[in-house]
């Protein structure tokens, strides 16, 4: 059974729990992980060119990201 097959059978709450478990596991072994080179480029560009747009409160930002993700799915 592939991971994709296993995940397709999980409910949304089970998938979120699985992500939490994976994140905790990866966080415990972060020293062994090397970020892709492009991450450094993106971070450097964003630091050099900060957004001039209005800043949203965290809750509004989270809601906006969720809406964008939902829009991609449809």
- Whose tokens are 């699985």? That residue is 18
Q: Is the pTM of this model over 0.75?
A: no
Provide the pLDDT confidence category of residue 13 given band limits of 50, 70 and 90.
Answer: very high
Provide the pLDDT confidence category of residue 5 given band limits of 50, 70 and 90.
Answer: very high
Looking from the CA of 62 toward its CB, the CA atoms found within 13 Å total: 3
pLDDT tens profile 15-72: 999 999 998 988 888 788 888 999 999 999 999 998 888 888 999 999 999 999 888 8
Give the per-residue pLDDT at 54. Answer: 84
The residue ranking higher by pLDDT, 22 or 74, is: 22
């Amino acid at each position: 059974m592939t991971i994709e097959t296993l995940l397709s059978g999980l409910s949304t709450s089970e998938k979120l729990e699985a992500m939490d478990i994976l994140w905790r596991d990866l966080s415990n072994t972060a020293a062994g992980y090397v970020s892709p080179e492009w991450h450094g480029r993106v971070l450097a560009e964003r630091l050099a060119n900060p957004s001039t747009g209005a800043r949203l409160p965290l809750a509004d930002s989270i809601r906006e990201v969720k809406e964008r993700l939902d829009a991609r799915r449809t």
